[in-house]
Amino acid sequence: MRRAGYRRTVRSPQVVPLPGLPDRVTVYEVGARDGLQNEKAIVPVEVKAELVRRLVAAGSRSIELTSFVHPRWVPQLADAEQLLAALGPVGDGILADVRAPVLVPNLRGLERALALGVREVAVFVSATESFARKNLNRTRQEALDMSAEVARDALAAGVAVRGYVSMCFGDPWEGDVDLAPVVDVVRALREQGCHEISLGDTIGVATAGHVVALLDALADAGVPTSALAVHFHDTYGQALSNTLVALQHGITVVDASAGGLGGCPFAQSATGNLATEDLVWMLHGLGIETGLDLPALVETSTWLSEQMGRPSPARAVRALG
């Protein structure tokens, strides 16, 4: 219960910069794809399209729209073609100045994406053998071979390729994950032509020291920090602290999901992504530019939570909504 006379007046963080941080960070929005893919109830395509429109209006300029995966594996994203049709041509209309990748698991998915004029696709590989078999029904090397084929054909078509590496910090079947296999997969994706590679903490077990150790190992292997992004889940409440140390070590692209939605349908222990609003509150408090309108993001996630029929798990949305 609020005390008499209490007024919630803090609507934005006080700006107190820290030395050694970037001036600007790109928030790579995954809510429309990774945020929704784990939802059991099918979200109408009109709601998904409206979510993207609201995110664009809030300043998002990097939005992963959907995945061209077989509907049997992720029924929630079976409407990929319908969603892109509802949004209009990529590179025009509301997506005119928006980086709008789509995830593709194989050559068939790439064909579907190219037919709709996409300008960037994302491929994904696991750092661990167990998750490669559980998620993709392939060995890790077979998954790398497939991503190489997709990247080859995408680049030949003039389409940029982003890479995802899942299970970088822990695996629900294997437990601890060594640095070496993660570095090997990242280097392989670089050789395939991925311009940006997102390091995924799929089950949210990473801690700050582990993040620094992996970034140092990648630097020692010749992978430039400018080619990396981070993708943290908040299972143990570590996503923001992990992000901060990543920023201190040169990362400038951070994946996040509107309202903190998301998980992984193939990893039962994976809970929500780092919430976009929580991330933006921290970044703005550090004086880091994002181009994002925090109140508009909160309004968007409040609207989305109403569509989902449950409150947002994002702390900033609860505080500011």
Catalytic residue list: 264
Name every residue whose Cβ is closer than 8 Å to that of residue 235 and which is 6 or more positions away in sequence. Answer: 203, 204, 205, 269, 270, 271
CB 193 within 8 A of CB 159: no
Region for 290 from its dihedrals, namely left if φ exceeds 0, alpha if ψ lies in -120 to 50, beta otherwise: alpha
Name every residue whose Cβ is closer than 8 Å to that of residue 140 and which is 6 or more positions away in sequence. Answer: 125, 126, 127, 128, 129, 132, 181, 185
Tokens 């995408």 correspond to what residue? 154
Q: Which two tokens stand for residue 59?
A: 């300043």
Q: For residue 198, give the 3-state DSSP assignment.
A: strand
Q: For residue 275, give the 3-state DSSP assignment.
A: strand
Taking the C-alpha atoms of residue 181 and residue 225, their distance in angstroms, rounded to an integer, is 18
CB 275 within 8 A of CB 316: yes
Start-to-end C-alpha separation, the chain = 17
Question: Parallel, antiparallel, or unpaired for β 253-256 and 26-29?
Answer: parallel
Taking the C-alpha atoms of residue 231 and residue 8, their distance in angstroms, rounded to an integer, is 32
The torsion defined by the Cα of 66, 69, 72 and 76, in degrees rounded to 10, comes to 0
Nearest by Cα to 10 from 302, 320, 277: 320
